Structure 1
Amino acid sequence: MNESVFKAMADPTRRKIVELLKQGPKTAGEIADHFTHAQPTVSRHLSVLKNAGLVVDQREGTFIVYRLNTTILQEWLAWLLEHFGGDQKHEKK
């Protein structure tokens, strides 16, 4: 598992961005509207998410639109469940 995914998801602002992008693609400005942070701070958070592979961006006209990379997110969640999901066969009752 890529350590950058854990770093990215450790921050509450980045987790909120992932939640926002679950609703659909958004521009940086649309994402920033949900925070009191300055636009450059939101851009840095987006950069961390992008470097971890959790978010992809695409230029659409004058805007950059961000989307979740659900493949990486699913791999991360599967890893978490595998390692911390509480396999019922091995739990004490």
Structure 2
Amino acid sequence: RLEISELQEILEKRADQHSIRDRERRLKSDIKPYHNGALFGMDPTIPPDEVDESWRVTVIPSKEYLEKPRLAGSAWLHTERRKRGE
């Protein structure tokens, strides 16, 4: 049986806010940047690696990372396999 915690309401509010933000970004011509560091309490208009030196922004994971990927790396590998038809 699924029991919903207090976090559910917070997540629903955040999802509503993101829906509004995403819709506005599609419709506006002067789009402000948005970075995922906001999920961790950082300013969403500043890249997280400029706020905290322990953050690193990469587009393509390194070979070393892909040898032992965490969750996001595993998803990236899955997408790449799908593109190659494996």
Q: Is TM > 0.5 for Structure 1 vs Structure 2?
A: no
Q: TM-score, normalised by structure 2?
A: 0.22
Higher-RCO chain (CA-CA 8 Å, sequence separation at least 6): 1
Question: Quick check: which has more Rg, 1 or 2?
Answer: 2
Quick check: which one's strand share is greater?
Answer: 1
Q: TM-score, normalised by structure 1?
A: 0.21
